[in-house]
Amino acid sequence: MKKLKPLIPSLRERKRYVVYEVHSNDRLANLKDEILSSIRKFLGSFGLAKAGVQMLDIKNNKGIIKVNNKELNNVKTALILTNKINQKDVYVQPIFVTGLLRKAKLKIGGD
């Protein structure tokens, strides 16, 4: 069986890392799943697949989402429009966008 050649860099999808913060008065559980479902509710299943959303890290109500750069504004809009998680009022604020995962991890207080 023949091995497929890897894509050349000019044909790969570009990625961006969105650092977000969840503001809430209550303690929240399953934050990754709930934010992903709210993005799916806004974009739909096809839009979610097109955006290539991947939830990476969460620390102290701050998290990182990996997104395709062409769908960045749609994902940021979906985050801003998220107002309930587990029937509790929240405000999700995208605070930083970068192309490097290391910079994103520094923003959330990681390694």
| Structural domain count, the chain | 1
In the prediction, which pLDDT does 59 show? 86
Low-confidence stretches of the chain (pLDDT beneath 50): none
Q: Of all residues in the chain, what percent carry a pLDDT higher than 90? A: 55
Q: What is the pLDDT of residues 83-99, one digit of tens each?
A: 888 888 899 999 999 99
- For residue 95, is it within any domain? yes
- For residue 2, is it within any domain? no
- For residue 7, is it within any domain? no
In the prediction, which pLDDT does 1 show? 79
- For residue 100, is it within any domain? yes
What CATH number should be reported for the domain holding residue 79? 3.30.70.3250
Alpha-carbon span 98 to 108, nearest angstrom: 13
- For residue 8, is it within any domain? no
In the prediction, which pLDDT does 88 show? 87
In the prediction, which pLDDT does 13 show? 86
Domain with 29, as residue range(s), is 13-107
Query: What pTM does this model have?
Result: 0.86
- For residue 3, is it within any domain? no
In the prediction, which pLDDT does 97 show? 95
- For residue 57, is it within any domain? yes
- For residue 5, is it within any domain? no
Q: What does 6-66 look like in DSSP terms, one character per residue? A: PPPGGGSPPEEEEEEEEE-SS--SSHHHHHHHHHHHHHHHHHHHHHT-EEEEEETTEEEEE
